[in-house]
Chains A and B, each alone.
Chain A
Amino acid sequence: MMSRKFFWTGTLTVAAAGLLTGALIADHLLHRPVRTTRAAWKEVYKAPGELVHRVDAIVLATAVDVQPGRIATSDNEEDVLRFQLVSFDVLRGLKGVDDGERITLERAVASNGGILLDFDGGDFEMGQHYLLFLKRQEDGSPYFYQVNDQGRFRIANDRLVAVARDDKVAAHFDQRTVREALALVRTNLRAQSPRVQ
């Protein structure tokens, strides 16, 4: 048996230690820089159905080639953005693209001084499979772009790994098997409303 005073003193100590430990764990995780770029995306979706319906193409594809692209500058020419063209062989064209097609995606890759940009998930690995949600460039060019950071998943051990792992829409696909993810896409494609599931 223990005294009431000892019990409450111990309880308060345990509570304080727990709160402190939790905060330290979170602080440790927060204090590991992950990405150096953030984008204000043109489109951010609130449900997987919206993501599936609003994009022009959904593909399970393999990254096969990367080439340097155009160079854009700011209006005063002091800022520089370099782009690259990444080609993919489509394994499964779920929307907008057929199986076996080769498509090309344009992305910003580096700014002044060659500093790499990672707001979209960073460089693609050649030979790696991805599930991608894409839009066609609005100026009529033949290239696609990754719709936002909700729309890119690397395939690892037959499971999807999201770029935006803390995003609620990406979480619907994150860690699913490829088969489950493709089924989820197809279910949403069949649905009339853009906000199903």
Chain B
Amino acid sequence: MSLRRVLVVWGSLLVLTITLGAGAAFATHRWDCWAYGDYLINWYNGASGTYHYIFEEEARTDADSWHNYTDIELVPINSPSQYDSINAFNGYYGFNGWLGLAEIIYYFGCTVTEGRARLNQSYLESGYSRTNKEHVACQEVGHLFGLDHNHDSSNTCMNDTILTAPQPDSHDQELINSIY
């Protein structure tokens, strides 16, 4: 094979593999580079009534909760904290188009030190089932671990186009376990 033909083959291969490599890295549904420092994360459940139980089930106690289904270990604490913690709340935040919010409050580089999950009762109190509320709670907590929305699977709470899958799926599990 002539040198010129070999260089053409190698050049094409280089372009193809760079594209494949970048594509594989982007297809992970990560939320930028966000992640807690390690798998042990403080968990403050400041929600009230039904929302307290919903957050608890989705984050810690269900068999398919983030705590039980992935390598994450949530350690309950009794008051909100800025240190290596997730703080969860519910409230009538008003009619602004969102059912839930996940917010990185404090961070150092890409390392989250305080994340906050909110459920908006202004909407969720009317016309939304318990499953819908669980889906949103699961999604907000999942964001804080470093996951983004996922439109490729209808079996994960990280899909924001549905409200009927209140659990992480095996892709989320693999992704979380690869981060932590």
Contact = CB atoms under 8 A, between A and B. Distances in A.
A73 B3 contact: no
A156 to B, nearest CB: 23
A113 B89 CA distance: 16
B102 interface: yes
Interface size class of B (residues with CB under 8 A): 35 or more
Contacts of A18: 13-18, 20-21
Nearest to A24: B21
Contacts of A31: 32-33, 110
A4 to B, nearest CB: 9
Interface stretch (B56-64, B66-74, B93-101, B169-177): B93-101
A1 B1 contact: yes
A70 B92 CA distance: 12
Interface stretch (A57-65, A139-147, A171-179): A139-147
Contacts of B24: 19, 22-23, 26
Interface residues of A, number: 63
A17 B18 CA distance: 8
B85 interface: no
B91 A2 contact: no
B14 A41 contact: no
Contacts of B98: 39-42, 119, 148
A106 interface: yes
B87 A79 contact: yes
Nearest to B100: A40
Nearest to A31: B33
